[in-house]
Amino acid sequence: MSELNNIALKILGSGKGILAADESTGTMTKRLDSVNVPSTPENRLLFRETLFSSNGMRDCIGGVILYDETIKQTSSKKNKIPELIASMGSHPGIKVDTGAKILAGSPNEKITEGLDGLRERLKEYYKLGAKFTKWRGVYNISKEYPSKLSIQSNAHALARYSALVQECDMVPIVEPEVLMDGDHSAQDCYQKTSEVIKKCFEELILHKVDLKGIILKPNMILAGNKSKDKISNEEVAKLTLECLKNSVPSDVPGIAFLSGGQSEIEATENLNLINKINTTNFIMSYSYGRALQQSALKFWSKNTRDIEGTQKVFNHRAKMNTLAAQGKWSKEIEN
């Protein structure tokens, strides 16, 4: 078993999942503004450190995706953030793309940038303690999108990124996110997501990426947020599983879903239903940002010094998702 495969399995094994705490300073500022907390480096660190030092981390979180600012910060106990995360039995990771920009040739679509100078940045992050990385490609759905150009360009970028990451002895998270913005049906989402994922794996194989040493971070199959044809959670689980079974090579050790606009409970319930019917060999877990942090952030904003209370809220959410990653969650346990 390769070392990369080992790391991937440790991140997602025993029902553990990933805490996506890689919001850029801009995004984190929006989150803090929404709960009336000034966005200073100190406050951003205080909130994240509160989560990173919780029992929920020790019991439920196998990996934390960090942002460039955070991986270089030092905790209030004077240890480096990657050291704090590692001391909780979790792996530090880092977001390495530089964001989605307008795709030349298709101005309504995006291409993720950040390949220039990536090899050097990866070496630095590895020295700082990162064990895995993340890169997100985004795709819109409509009658004409995602275009072949967008599907091809983003798959190519994800593959080049993954090859460089593995060369530097880290596990790449491959995140092709088909957005839920729009009035498309779940069937449209199924079709486009299948196309996007298949093209990603074609490129990954072409770039000689070891599939046993990656984690796939896809969207679930959902109807668009403006769609009139909503489907049941059971249907979401069934379509999501079917899509992945037909698109993902069996070498991939694990799949960690993004929550992509779902509420905390929805993201947990859908993950639970997927695991209840999962007959594949893939570990199916979570890599949630807002769906793990939102309640904790709201609680924390009322009194940023109430570390214990905030951790209690976070621990509950982390525990619910870890149960869902094993198909053991229920509404009764939730409440």
Active-site annotation, residues: 217
Report the DSSP pairing between strands 91-95 and 100-103.
Answer: unpaired
- Rg of the chain on CA atoms, in Å: 19
Q: Is 136 within 8 Å of 173 (Cβ atoms)? A: no
- The partner residues of 94 in beta bridges, in order of sequence, read 66, 133
Give SS3 for 259: coil
Q: Using the 8-state DSSP alphabet, how is residue 246 labeled?
A: H
Give SS3 for 175: strand
Q: What angle do CA 73, 261, 185 make, to 5 degrees?
A: 150
How far is C-alpha 18 from the geometric centre of its chain's CA atoms? 7
Q: Which two tokens stand for residue 96?
A: 């390495």
Give SS3 for 264: helix
Give the whole-angstrom CA distance, residue 39 versus residue 30: 8
Amino acid letter, residue 132: F
Other beta carbons within 10 Å of 142: 14
Residue whose C-alpha is closest to residue 174's, from 148, 192, 199, 150: 199
Give the whole-angstrom CA distance, residue 323 versus residue 86: 22
Q: Is 87 within 8 Å of 79 (Cβ atoms)? A: yes
